[in-house]
Amino acid sequence: MSSTLRWADDPKWQVAGKKLFSRSSFVRSCVDVKDLPVNSLPEIAFAGRSNVGKSSIINALTNNKTLARVSAMPGRTQQLNYFQIADQFYLVDMPGYGYAQAGRREVMGWQNLMKDYLRGRHCLLRLFLLIDSRHGLKKLDEDFMKFLDSAALSYQIVLTKIDKLNIGEQKAIQEKMAPEIASYQAAHPEILTTSASDNIGIQSLQAEIAALIARSPTKPGY
């Protein structure tokens, strides 16, 4: 029976996910790809517009409020922040894009860092692209998705702040986005819905990641 469930909904993976996320620690911030850890663990990346709720999701996943505060520290918002989850994988917090106050040079700098990272990181299993459920896909998100498609990187949309929508609105945004996402080759067809503040969908996201890590050819011991 359980084989017909999505990983995100499968109690087996939900239990594994909860266990997996019970230990987390900050590793380092990287301003250049040469600072990245040597590839010893698989990686899962989180990206999205600034203010989409990325830090809140990372806090909720790890049940560790001090972790994402590290990423939010001045200077670190434009870097790749590495967290180690158990001894199993690195969670990579990518710079938020679309920050209105960022200067052109700053934007170019982090765009280059992101592109260098995403083009060359073979141990990256999946990127979770966070989208504010109230706004849906914006041009910057679509541009980023086109880049991910061109780099043939597997990614999945995670809707955030779903608590801000009523049931009808939640259904409407998912129905609107499903065909939009289908036009992107490298996008995973399933959309995950979350609320960090109301703890909705966090267990499912943990389960999805646990299944990915368990099936990774680069997991420790391989």
Q: Which residue in 97, 4, 45 sits closest to 209, CA to CA?
A: 45
Task: Kindly state whether residue 55 participates in binding ligand GDP, applying the rule CB under 6 A.
Answer: yes
Nearest C-alpha neighbor of 64 from the set 93, 95, 21, 27: 21
**Is 54 one of the binding residues for ligand GDP (CB under 6 A)?**
yes
Whole-number Å distance between alpha carbons of 84 and 11: 24
- Asked whether 75 and 112 are in contact (CB, 8 A), the reply is no
Closest to 68 in 3D by CA, of 25, 98, 30: 25
Residue 20 to residue 84: CA distance in whole angstroms: 11
52 interacts with ligand GDP by CB under 6 A: yes
Pick between residue 42 and residue 96 the one whose CB is nearest to ligand GDP.
96
In angstroms, give the least distance from the CB of 105 to ligand GDP. 21
Q: Which of 14, 24, 29, 56 binds ligand GDP (CB under 6 A)?
A: 56
Least distance (Å) between residue 218 CB and ligand GDP: 27
Q: Is the CB of residue 144 less than 8 Å from the CB of residue 97? A: yes
Residues in binding contact with ligand GDP, number by CB under 6 A: 15
The Cα–Cα gap between 2 and 144 comes to 34
Binding span for ligand GDP by CB under 6 A among 54-62, 116-124, 180-188, 207-215: 54-62
CA distance 206 to 62: 9
196 binds ligand GDP (CB under 6 A): yes
Binding mask 141-170 for ligand GDP (x = CB under 6 A): -------------------xx-xx------
* C-alpha distances in Å from residue 21, one per residue of 84, 113, 221: 10, 27, 19
Min. distance of Cβ 59 from ligand GDP in angstroms?
Answer: 7
Query: Mask: binding to ligand GDP, 83-122, rule CB under 6 A, as x and -?
Result: -------------x--------------------------
Taking phi first (over 0 means left), then psi (-120 to 50 degrees means alpha), and beta for anything else, what does residue 168 get?
alpha
Q: What residues does 47 pair with on adjacent strands? A: 129
Residue (177 or 200) nearer to ligand GDP, CB: 200
Least distance to ligand GDP from the beta carbon of 170, Å?
13
Residue 53 touching ligand GDP (CB under 6 A): yes
Q: Exactly one of 62, 64, 79, 195 binds ligand GDP (CB under 6 A); which one? A: 195
Footprint of ligand GDP on this chain (CB under 6 A)?
50-56, 96, 160-161, 163-164, 195-197
